Structure 1
Amino acid sequence: MAAFAHSAPCWVDVQLPDLEAGKRFYGELFGWTFRAGEEVERGGPGVDALSGGKLVAALAAKQDGRMPTAWGIYFATDDIAATVTRIRQAGGQVITDPVRVGSAGVLAQAADPGGAVFGLWQAGDRSGFQKQNEPGSFCWTEVYTRQKDRVDAFYERVFGFRGTDLGAAGMGESGRGESGTREPGTGGPGSTEAGTGEPGTGESETPESEPPESEPPESETPEPETPESGPVESGIGGSGADMPGADFRMWSPAGTEPGPDTAIGGRSVITDAFPAEMPSYFLNYFAVADCDATAETGVHLGGRVSVPPFDIPYGRMAVLHDNQGAEFAVLQPPVSR
């Protein structure tokens, strides 16, 4: 069974106050079906989410009301103990030391120097996504931070990422895959093949702060009514590749030629236009067949749209919150030509 390359995004999960309400929301929004998931140490009940019978995510019931209602991202590692050591050495914080999830694998939770939380997954019987870069599945992640220099150095040291600043690679439309299912700006965070399962059930032990809303863009997207409800400010989500001066860095795995075709995620910047207490965070994207219809359905199901659908060089995207407040983005890839 194929495994994810070291440092590749390999799983997402969400902590929800009401698990059944989450199943109804995402089941109708993405067409997901669900089955009972693994329970990890200190975790609660959770379910695997499947798209077309393939594992794509997990939903978990929050056991501590102080924890944020948020989607979390996991990066694959072939040596979780060594990765945890590098996180501490590079100025990050280990929130949850490595814990075994039965025979599925080992997970840990950490935060970068700017405070953005992410997970680690060392595969056992399960590698992660069985499907990605297709409608109803994960397709991209990006971190928002105020401490870009420290954060860039951190991820490059911990995961060996190689950075490409926006515009430096002549991004244009080069990130489009022939299948039309690639994520913003790259050849896909699934250029390594998906494995056979998920890391656990969604137990993301994150700091006690709610996920921030998206931030206002420099152009093209609607102006926010308030800083708390504005669109993503920069990077793929808010500016695309055609915006001069956007402060966005794409990350490619070690051993690859950095650029749009190999990037697996990105880093954007939270500016002083937003309150200093707004924490750093990861925004995770899901591919959809119709961005506008998905946004409308999300509202119908009790969610809200913080960034209305708009076009970027990599398709059409929007940022939503589910019916319990968890933030995520959706991307409709461009039509193949």
Structure 2
Amino acid sequence: MITTDFVPGSPCWLDLGAPDVSAAGDFYGAVLGWEFEPMEDSGGAFGLATSRGRTAAGIGLLTERGARSAWMLYFFTPDVHETAASVLRAGGTVRVEPQDADGWAAVAQFTDPQGGRFAAWTPGRARGLEATDDPGALCWTELYTSDASAALAFYEAVFGWQREEMAMPGGGDGTYVIVTPAGQPRERMHGGVLQVPAEQLSLSQGVPDWHPVFTVTDCDAAAATVRTKGGEVVVGPSDAPGIGRMAVCLDGAGADFVLMTPAAVPTY
């Protein structure tokens, strides 16, 4: 599970790059129950989404030329500069150099050797997410990649993640690899890595992709709202035995995410 007592390598923040910040806030407000408030000094270019009064995500204006709308996942680090150095040593790329985010945090963005984009966060005034694992909040992270073995070796070198292999839920082909922050018990597992053929990465334009999974109380109802608000349900809703009911979705601008109603007794 994802908690807010962040340790090195655990997910601690996420934000969305959107072509229309207000429209994105409206979409996720309807689907996840968020309240969105633009930051006064951003000119409407960035704001915070809250779930039951707790910070659940950021939404900002997509400014990178040619980039698709997408979620960016941030992992906790006590020193973002050292993490940047570790990324380079492990064969990754620094996309955005470590920088101060107006005192909120020190952040940097990276690309793993296969092309998956992710980020790191060293707290400043803001420690990170205040809402996790509850309805409307981040509950899991997933990497779809063309080379799971190489990707896992990279992230283990950068963050020290522990891994555990399991059969695909529902008897599907392949192996699903669960990752947990270094030195943490199994209960602190925070994500999964799945190898898929390049042709199955169409949602991310053919490159490996980290995407967020959000808890919802009723996956079918939330998926229906995705459709009515101009998004798309790509897969599901469907049941994953022992995991929950899930739907792979796109928002109105094409950013991918997953909705999940957990099983009564999650076994992952």
TM-score of the pair, normalised by structure 2: 0.90
Q: Read off the aligned partner of 1:5 and give its amino acid letter.
A: V
Cα distance change on mapping 1:273 and 1:289 into 2, 3 Å:
same
Give the SS at the match of 1:122: strand
Is 1:122 aligned with 2:122? yes
Q: Read off the aligned partner of 2:89 and give its amino acid letter.
A: Q
Matches within 5 A, 1:324-335: 324-335=253-264
Which of 230, 243, 252 matches 1:323?
A: 252
Is 1:254 aligned with 2:182? yes
Give the SS at the match of 1:323: coil
CA distance in 1, matches of 2:128, 2:50: 12
Cα distance change on mapping 1:118 and 1:272 into 2, 3 Å:
closer
More helix by share: 2
**1:21 CA drift (Å):** 1.0
> What residue number does 1:269 align with?
195
Give the SS at the match of 1:98: strand
Q: Read off the aligned partner of 1:266 and give its amino acid letter.
A: G
> What residue number does 1:91 align with?
91
Q: Read off the aligned partner of 1:315 and give its amino acid letter.
A: G
2:56–2:132 CA contact under 8 A, matched in 1: yes
More strand by share: 2
Cα distance change on mapping 1:101 and 1:272 into 2, 3 Å:
closer
1:15–1:60 CA contact under 8 A, matched in 2: yes
CA offsets 1:200-235 (integer angstroms, 9 cap, x no match): xxxxxxxxxxxxxxxxxxxxxxxxxxxxxxxxxxxx
1:17–1:65 CA contact under 8 A, matched in 2: no
**1:123 CA drift (Å):** 0.4
Matches within 5 A, 1:36-115: 36-37=38-39, 45-115=45-115
**1:38 CA drift (Å):** 8.5
Segments of 5+ residues of structure 1 without an aligned counterpart are 168-238
Cα distance change on mapping 1:246 and 1:124 into 2, 3 Å:
same
The number of aligned residues is 260
Identity of aligned residues (%): 33
Where relative contact order (Cα < 8 A, 6+ residues apart) is larger, the structure is: 1
Q: Read off the aligned partner of 2:261 and give its amino acid letter.
A: Q
CA distance in 1, matches of 2:200, 2:190: 27
Cα distance change on mapping 1:275 and 1:107 into 2, 3 Å:
closer
Cα distance change on mapping 1:137 and 1:4 into 2, 3 Å:
same
CA offsets 1:169-201 (integer angstroms, 9 cap, x no match): xxxxxxxxxxxxxxxxxxxxxxxxxxxxxxxxx
Give the SS at the match of 1:248: strand
Q: Read off the aligned partner of 1:17 and give its amino acid letter.
A: P
CA distance in 1, matches of 2:103, 2:5: 15
CA offsets 1:275-300 (integer angstroms, 9 cap, x no match): 79711111210000000000001101
> What residue number does 1:7 align with?
9
2:90–2:154 CA contact under 8 A, matched in 1: yes
Give the SS at the match of 1:166: strand
2:14–2:72 CA contact under 8 A, matched in 1: yes
**1:19 CA drift (Å):** 1.1
Give the SS at the match of 2:188: coil
Cα distance change on mapping 1:335 and 1:160 into 2, 3 Å:
same
Q: Read off the aligned partner of 1:256 and give its amino acid letter.
A: Q
> What residue number does 2:29 align with?
27
Is 1:289 aligned with 2:178? no
CA offsets 1:136-155 (integer angstroms, 9 cap, x no match): 01010111111222211111
CA distance in 2, matches of 1:336, 1:147: 31
Which of 226, 229, 233 matches 1:298?
A: 226
1:95–1:110 CA contact under 8 A, matched in 2: yes
CA distance in 2, matches of 1:68, 1:315: 29
**1:27 CA drift (Å):** 1.3
Cα distance change on mapping 1:37 and 1:247 into 2, 3 Å:
farther
CA distance in 1, matches of 2:61, 2:102: 19
Segments of 5+ residues of structure 2 without an aligned counterpart are none
1:39–1:101 CA contact under 8 A, matched in 2: no
Is 1:132 aligned with 2:58? no
2:201–2:208 CA contact under 8 A, matched in 1: no
CA distance in 1, matches of 2:198, 2:251: 27
> What residue number does 1:150 align with?
150
1:3–1:127 CA contact under 8 A, matched in 2: no
> What residue number does 1:194 align with?
none
C-alpha RMSD of the superposition: 2.2
2:198–2:206 CA contact under 8 A, matched in 1: no
> What residue number does 1:191 align with?
none
**1:274 CA drift (Å):** 4.1
CA distance in 2, matches of 1:91, 1:39: 37
CA distance in 1, matches of 2:93, 2:236: 34
